[in-house]
Amino acid sequence: MDTHLVVVLALLAAAAAAEAKMSADYYSKTCPRADRIIADVLAQKQISNPTTAAGVLRLFFHDCFVGGCDASVLVASTAAARSERDADVNLSLPGDAFDALARAKAALEVECPGVVSCADLLAVAARDLVTMTGGPYYPLRLGRKDGLSSSPSAPDAEIPHANLTVSRLVAREFAARIYGGGGGGADPTMNPALAKRLQEACRDYRRGPTIAAFNDVMTPGRFDNMYFVNLRRGLGLLATDQELYGDARTRPHVERYAANETAFFADFARAARRLSHHGVKNGANGEVRRRCDAYNGGPRG
């Protein structure tokens, strides 16, 4: 049998085994109030900081896309070891998102110490915040363990730069589009009014590279299909956003989601559930961290 096929089959078998140990009621006996605790903490955070939902959704994507859903993106760098947080593509991940998860984890540790993993917390938090802001609810299977490693080199190699469809992105990611078009002006495919507003908001982005703008300029506080509606109006923030509408291969999907929010919600929920099962750790391959930003045994790398 081909060696590559053997490897693929082994990985599929491992993934199936990991998923088999997961269930919707995983914490029903060990931490029955976990869902309520998480929801209460997140609701308070979202009310005080409305960008929290978008930030946590970005964390969920950045975590699962690199090495699987194991909360490795939440690990903080130390003097002994740098983590995924130091990767260039992760520098714009918002502090409010990390804070929301830290607060929820602290509350869970008071209720049921050492039980709920940070990986499960992140998956549930992303789902709950999507629902809180108007998006679809989707069931999740729980039982993930937290990863035992976090490398700053992995995200930059795995995550596409400047093409995410979440709500907040740093100015440097789209500066070329608003300043570097023909003759030094804005990209001619961008809505002129939007380009002018962004130029004014981001004029000092070189001195303050974390200056941010909302990707969805119409309904930034809601999870809806307005992102796709905006693309038809030339209101895409990033060049790669607008490419989705300009390219014949992806334009039909933009048109479909812009016209049918229900279809977008259904596809999003299906994709989020599938992503949440990617690279799940269990058994000796993971742990349940006492703090989401640190391994139980100290620095690793």
pLDDT, tens digit (0-9, with 9 covering 90-100), for 172-218: 444 555 555 544 565 666 556 655 655 555 655 444 545 444 555 56
Is there a binding annotation on residue 99? no
Confidence band of 83 (pLDDT split at 50, 70, 90): confident
pLDDT, greater one: 192 or 22: 22
Is there a binding annotation on residue 63? yes
Say which CATH topology domain 168-214+226-259 has: Peroxidase; domain 2 (1.10.420)
Instruction: Residue 63: count other Cβ atoms within 10 Å of its Cβ.
Output: 30
**Kind plus residue range of the DSSP H or E element containing 213:** strand 212-214
Q: Are the beta carbons of 23 and 281 closer than 8 angstroms?
A: no
Is there a binding annotation on residue 158? no
Q: Give the pLDDT mean for 85-90.
A: 83
The CATH number that domain 3-161+268-285 falls under is 1.10.520.10
Q: How far apart are CA 94 and CA 290, in angstroms?
A: 22
Domains 3-161+268-285 and 168-214+226-259 share a fold: no
Helix orientation angle between 118-132 and 52-65, rounded to the nearest 10 degrees: 140
Q: Give the pLDDT mean for 266-270.
A: 97
For position 233, what pLDDT does the model report?
Answer: 85
Q: Are the beta carbons of 59 and 101 closer than 8 angstroms?
A: yes
Q: Residue written as tokens 């990617």?
A: 278
Q: How far apart are CA 269 and CA 288, in angstroms?
A: 26
DSSP summary character for residue 180: S
The number of CA neighbours under 13 Å toward the Cβ of 260 is 10
Is there a binding annotation on residue 68? yes
Sequence spans of domains, the chain: 3-161+268-285, 168-214+226-259
Is there a binding annotation on residue 66? yes
Confidence band of 5 (pLDDT split at 50, 70, 90): very low
Over 70: is that where the pLDDT of 124 sits?
yes
Three-state secondary structure call for residue 169: strand
For position 117, what pLDDT does the model report?
Answer: 99
Q: Residue written as tokens 């699962």?
A: 64
Query: Looking at the annotation, which residues are catalytic?
Result: 62
Alpha-helical runs (H) found in 233-295: 239-246, 251-259, 261-276
Is there a binding annotation on residue 224? yes
